[in-house]
Structure 1
Amino acid sequence: MKKYGFGVDVGGTTCKIGFFENSGNMLDKWEIKTNTENHGASILDDIVASLESKLADAGISKDEVEGVGIGVPGPVKNDSVVCECVNLGWGTFDVAETLSEKIGLPVKVGNDANVAALGEMWKGGGQGCQNGVMVTLGTGVGGGIIINGSIVGGVHGAGGEIGHMKVSETETETCGCGKRGCLEQYASATGIVRLTKQRLAADDAKTSLRSLPEVTAKDVFDAAKAGDAVAQELVEEVGRILGGALGSIAVVIDPEMFVIGGGVSRAGQILLDAVQKYFKERVFKSCQETKFVLASLGNDAGMYGCAKMIFNA
């Protein structure tokens, strides 16, 4: 029987909302502003108004809707309790219970990176995979772990926070989390730029990167593809650090695949090749053939994952 569900990916600027059939077909998507004034007090009410408007326009009753899945930028416990979302102004409270009371539908809540992982395993780059890890390489490094088709959120809602794995004992600069030597400091877009600046300051080796007014991670990969030796060294370094970190994850959970997403993933095969090279050097023999694929849903991944939480229930 055809049923429906909503996937709501709440960000600091906008809420991305998808309306789905339980087959996974997205019928419509739209955005509303995330009003963070007064500690985000109106965010849930704004979401309810938007969802109810959509149902009225579509002529669909709530009896035909399985529920609402919602992704948030912060730790989540038990598909329900949000443990502080600084970007939204929220403290710790039961989002699922509160939203369910407001809209009269079942609600499940997940961390934004985790629900994106679930979406990619359902309808994206990892489609059909029941045991996988998504790595999001953007301004920071995010992650999501899916085991037997479900999110591993952890006791404290911190499951999948792979960006804060310690990968260096000698780092002197501080990560955004307050620690030193986190994966995010090397494999994120900002981390790659940081490594590049350090490399350019180390000597006067000839490289096209020196002629750029402001180097980006994309510039590094583009230069490496064009044969720039310094850029190729940097890509190797990122591959060594990220491949090693994913190797450590693999010997713990033995995933079927890693799905690599985020802005840095647009580098494509050159990134996958560098990561796989060092991953294979690091891991136990049984994990050697773990697959690496690129994410394919882009900014829609979170909406798909949120909907999947509801359809999994």
Structure 2
Amino acid sequence: MLGYTVAALTALASTITAPAAAAPATPLCGAAFAIESAGETYQEAFERVDGYYGLESVRVFYPGLPRHWPGKLDAGDRTLTVSFKADPASVTAGRHDEHFRTWFARAPQDVDVYWSYFHEPEDNVLNKGEFTASEYRAAWRHLHALAAEAGNPRLHPTLILMNWTVDPDSGRNWRDFYPGDRYIEVLAWDAYNQITGVTRKYRSAEQIFGDVVTVSRQAGKPFAVAETGSALATGDGGRGRAEWLREISGYLTDRGALWVQYFDLDFTAHGHSDYRLRDHAGKAAWRDFCAG
């Protein structure tokens, strides 16, 4: 007799994260997108954007609890990055346990699902004071235990932070939001050329992604890019941005990113930029990355 009870084994399993899938020869290309015309469904928006690029992965956002599967869309055999939100105190209190147990249990077992609790929590903690970093980490650990009960090796707990958080000028410590090695399998980052204001130039891939690559390697974790993008720079008809897209995709390929997902949305209503690739050169650059 090994002396383990079923309960003990379950507790043990909740502390173990399955190894991440090996980095592909080329990162999986992906995109986030939105409905753009009256009457268009989210499924149709996906099919439209997939037609532009030939996506290998899809970024899905839920402003609250995730919808039960199949969720917002049927993406076929494409890799999914799914983020959702819930107040940390309500998570650790177990108020959503039934929902999450069902969600994790019914997740696909034939595609990789990189799930992320409350992506980009930094401003919610540091600027808005909605919850503390300690509460955030505790909620992550609670959700990890629920996910482990599903016994699905295609579920990958993924922390998504801003690249600004690891910039030395930010004064932030990314580990404030890190629940621990056993709870996170992949570090993913949201990193843009420029968020607000007039875009006058395209920063180099090293300027944008250098710190996140370094931090991910130091942490010993695979890394990915959950959001990236740029508005067209002043005077650029699209070729300059296309060259930038090819530069960053090559840079991230050389450094072993798991996936790179373009934020193909007009976010000007939220004080950001219109990142959509609607010019021929931009579309072609991302389509070529997807075909690589």
**TM-score, L = length of structure 2:** 0.34
Max Rg structure: 1
Select the structure that is richer in strand. Answer: 1
Select the structure that is richer in helix. Answer: 1
